[in-house]
Structure 1
Amino acid sequence: MSSIGNAKLMKIIEKLGLIVLLVLLAACDPFQTKIGSEVSLYESIQKQEVPFPDTLKIMTWNIKFGGGRIDFFFDCHGDRVIMEKSEVIENMNTIAEKIREVNPDILMVQEADVNAKRSAFVDQVQYLVNNTDFNYAAYASQWKANYIPSNGIGKMDSGNAILSKWKFTGAKRIPLPLIKSQNFLVRYFYLKRNILEINLENQGKSIQLLTTHLSAYAKDNTKKRQLEILKTYLDSLNQSGQQFILGGDFNSLPPFSKQTCNFDDSACNDGEFEADNYSAEIKWMIPFYKNYQSAIPLDEFKRDNSKHFSHTTDKNKFWNRKIDFLFSNKSFCLESGKTLQQWMQVSDHAPIIVKSNTKQ
């Protein structure tokens, strides 16, 4: 057979192989990537009795799966995929140290690995519970697979978590839409975004605590749909008279952002991991600011964007955009919202803190 014939045969075999794989994926779940409504619960080995305060300190932080400022392949500043366990423990130790320094009552975490090859299979939620003053935690996966056959990623279980000093009830995972522009195979292995919600009760009052991490690389209207679903869910809580506090990484810019594209840390140009242009999305966050309280009031952000930037992909540059938020349907304590920009080498996101009066 000629070389041309061989090439044609190989293409036919590749197509047949892909068809077989797609049939297998559709019929069952061989890599176990499907995620249901399950939430994993954690407890500290040594619990501490903490009286419930009149004012809660809330903190939200994308901890970059304990990766510190290692240059990973998806940011195009480097090519790392896998960390050594010693690196993960060192980075998690620094994160825990900063958390203890702030001493929040509630911590909302995004990008926490609990059983992933890339982070040496360290359960980062359990690590934080064991090495901070929190007694309880809830975790919901958003990226899970026994094996991901791409970039050497391998086994993955990563998601969002909420840590609390007090026992909570009613933890649940609310799924968000997948990126519909991706083909079936990519969607099967890709992240399944969610809202994690827990209920905190004290003296007959309850507070719904929620965290989320929305799509970063959607090229269609998936992120807009996720924001709309999130807003609708908050509205339902508000209409029922339920107090809520929401924190997370929205991968969206606030209104009045002076820069919306061409950020100086953008190194990706292949289209796959580009998250550099928000110019068509600048109004998407308006409903949240219009209807609810922000830890960083919009007027304050408008006066000085840079004071509240919370993200950059370049460890050698300063934060250059705000994509992390805290919202509530009750008033936060005046001027208590802060963006902690001093820890640039700990994660590619800066944490945000705020205080909320529990007697409202």
Structure 2
Amino acid sequence: MKKIGKLYLIMLSLLSFACDPFQTKIGNEVSLYESTALNNEAFPDTLKVMTWNIKFGGGRIDFFFDCHGDRVIMKKSEVLNNMSALADKINEINPDILMIQEADVNAKRSAYIDQVQYLLDNTSFNYAAYAPQWKASYIPSKSIGKMNSGNAILSKWKFTNATRIALPLIKSQNSIVRYFYLKRNILHVKLEHSGKSIHLLTTHSSAYAKDDTKKKQLEIIKAYADSIANKKENLILGGDFNSLPPYSKQTSKFDDTACTNGDFDADDYSSETQWMQPFYEKYSAAIPINTYKTDNKSHFSHTTDKNKFWNRKVDFLFTNGTFISKSGKTLQQWMQISDHAPILVEYEL
């Protein structure tokens, strides 16, 4: 305890006397990418859109935050093997638009491999936009070290603009934890081609907030999407919302729960059963709510236990436009690629 207290005082002193000593502050920064070899892609009448939390190229390695293991850092060979598997599955589906969460671009834990550039260079995508949500020159906790991880949108066609919208931080955390912790966002890009335009938004809300932070984040995400929809402009919103749909038969005590100290416990959604309802009321969903209500299990998209099946749905795609009927799928067959299953749908322009 004395050692922890001394470290706390040292960190507090550093933060008090320097504005941003570990460079964790994130403004409106967005990075734009191009593939090293651009492909000439015709613009279709129907867009195949996919969202996937790629677990920073971690595959099904048991990391400390899931409490099934204690890994923090990966070898470069592990990251490359996992990224190769991701690219293979993406190429199998060949989406036109891919929204990804938990993409590392310069992080010690993933051998400093730029995963956005890797996917551009190993798939048919040409362009990408990236917005950080966890950034630091050094994170002392568990020797995580350097971190730059966030959300990205990949496309076969160039974006006309890209914006990062900050979401609220977890207010119940102490100042040091909050300084080093994730700063969630919405990444917004606009795609214009052949006289057609669409706004693409991806997000990843808080997993471990014990206060009302996640609810406020979801309200801001919804309001931001509404600000576009209310102008009669088309949008697709997707990502990892870390919340369950209405009509979820199980909302707590999941069979993959291993954490007991409360820091990384995301096991109880019983007070959140209606938090996603406003999205379903305003927008069409890739997996319609009645489809999910009839059969929860076929649309589960997440588990922390690689030896069990998906046990909850936290990943979504919504639009104020038109998803082709029954085209929405939860690709549950790739359990060993990530701790999330991708969601796929066809959008009619």
TM bucket (normalised to shorter chain) is over 0.9
SS in 1 for 2:323: coil
User: Would you say the 8 A contact 2:15–2:21 is kept in 1?
Assistant: no
Amino acid of the structure 2 residue aligned with 1:230: I
1:17 to 10, 15, 18: 10
User: Would you say the 8 A contact 2:298–2:330 is kept in 1?
Assistant: yes
Q: Which residue of 1 aligns with 2:157?
A: 166
Deviation at 1:19, TM superposition (A): 4.3
Amino acid of the structure 2 residue aligned with 1:20: S
With over 3 angstroms needed to count, the CA separation of the structure-2 counterparts of 1:217 and 1:14, relative to structure 1, is closer
Matched, 1:113 2:129: no
Once residues 64 and 131 of structure 2 are traced to their aligned partners in structure 1, the CA distance between those partners, rounded to angstroms, is: 25
> For each residue in 1:80-113, what CA deviation from the matched residue of structure 2 results, as whole angstroms up to 9, or x when unmatched?
0000000000000000000000000000000000
Deviation at 1:206, TM superposition (A): 1.1
Please report the RMSD computed on the Cα atoms of aligned residues, expressed in angstroms: 1.5
Once residues 8 and 332 of structure 2 are traced to their aligned partners in structure 1, the CA distance between those partners, rounded to angstroms, is: 50
Matched, 1:257 2:248: yes
> For each residue in 1:6-46, what CA deviation from the matched residue of structure 2 results, as whole angstroms up to 9, or x when unmatched?
x99x999667535423413xx41110000010111110111
User: Would you say the 8 A contact 2:185–2:204 is kept in 1?
Assistant: yes
Once residues 188 and 12 of structure 2 are traced to their aligned partners in structure 1, the CA distance between those partners, rounded to angstroms, is: 38
SS in 2 for 1:271: coil
With over 3 angstroms needed to count, the CA separation of the structure-2 counterparts of 1:13 and 1:55, relative to structure 1, is closer
Deviation at 1:331, TM superposition (A): 1.9
Once residues 185 and 36 of structure 2 are traced to their aligned partners in structure 1, the CA distance between those partners, rounded to angstroms, is: 28
Matched, 1:340 2:331: yes
Matched, 1:45 2:36: yes
> For each residue in 1:241-278, what CA deviation from the matched residue of structure 2 results, as whole angstroms up to 9, or x when unmatched?
11000110000000000000000000000010000000
Once residues 257 and 15 of structure 1 are traced to their aligned partners in structure 2, the CA distance between those partners, rounded to angstroms, is: 41
Deviation at 1:306, TM superposition (A): 0.1
Once residues 208 and 14 of structure 1 are traced to their aligned partners in structure 2, the CA distance between those partners, rounded to angstroms, is: 45
User: Would you say the 8 A contact 2:134–2:149 is kept in 1?
Assistant: yes
2:193 to 187, 202, 206: 202
User: Would you say the 8 A contact 2:14–2:21 is kept in 1?
Assistant: no
Q: Which residue of 2 aligns with 1:313?
A: 304
Once residues 17 and 256 of structure 1 are traced to their aligned partners in structure 2, the CA distance between those partners, rounded to angstroms, is: 48
Q: Based on CA coordinates, which of the two structures has the bigger radius of gyration?
A: 1
SS in 1 for 2:322: coil
With over 3 angstroms needed to count, the CA separation of the structure-2 counterparts of 1:165 and 1:11, relative to structure 1, is closer
Once residues 249 and 14 of structure 1 are traced to their aligned partners in structure 2, the CA distance between those partners, rounded to angstroms, is: 34
Once residues 235 and 85 of structure 1 are traced to their aligned partners in structure 2, the CA distance between those partners, rounded to angstroms, is: 42
Q: Which residue of 1 aligns with 2:233?
A: 242
SS in 2 for 1:186: helix
Deviation at 1:188, TM superposition (A): 0.3
Please give the TM-score of this superposition, normalised by the length of structure 2. 0.98
2:217 to 226, 247, 259: 226
Matched, 1:328 2:319: yes
Structure 1 residue ranges without an equivalent (≥5): 1-6
Once residues 160 and 239 of structure 1 are traced to their aligned partners in structure 2, the CA distance between those partners, rounded to angstroms, is: 25
Deviation at 1:169, TM superposition (A): 1.1
Deviation at 1:152, TM superposition (A): 1.3
Structure 2 residue ranges without an equivalent (≥5): none
Give the paired residue count. 349
Once residues 217 and 329 of structure 1 are traced to their aligned partners in structure 2, the CA distance between those partners, rounded to angstroms, is: 29
2:54 to 63, 67, 89: 63
Q: Which residue of 2 aligns with 1:287?
A: 278
Amino acid of the structure 2 residue aligned with 1:163: L
Q: Which residue of 1 aligns with 2:141?
A: 150
Matched, 1:349 2:340: yes
SS in 2 for 1:233: helix
Amino acid of the structure 1 residue aligned with 2:307: N
Once residues 15 and 126 of structure 1 are traced to their aligned partners in structure 2, the CA distance between those partners, rounded to angstroms, is: 37
2:20 to 12, 29, 44: 29
Once residues 230 and 296 of structure 1 are traced to their aligned partners in structure 2, the CA distance between those partners, rounded to angstroms, is: 19
SS in 2 for 1:195: strand
With over 3 angstroms needed to count, the CA separation of the structure-2 counterparts of 1:12 and 1:68, relative to structure 1, is closer
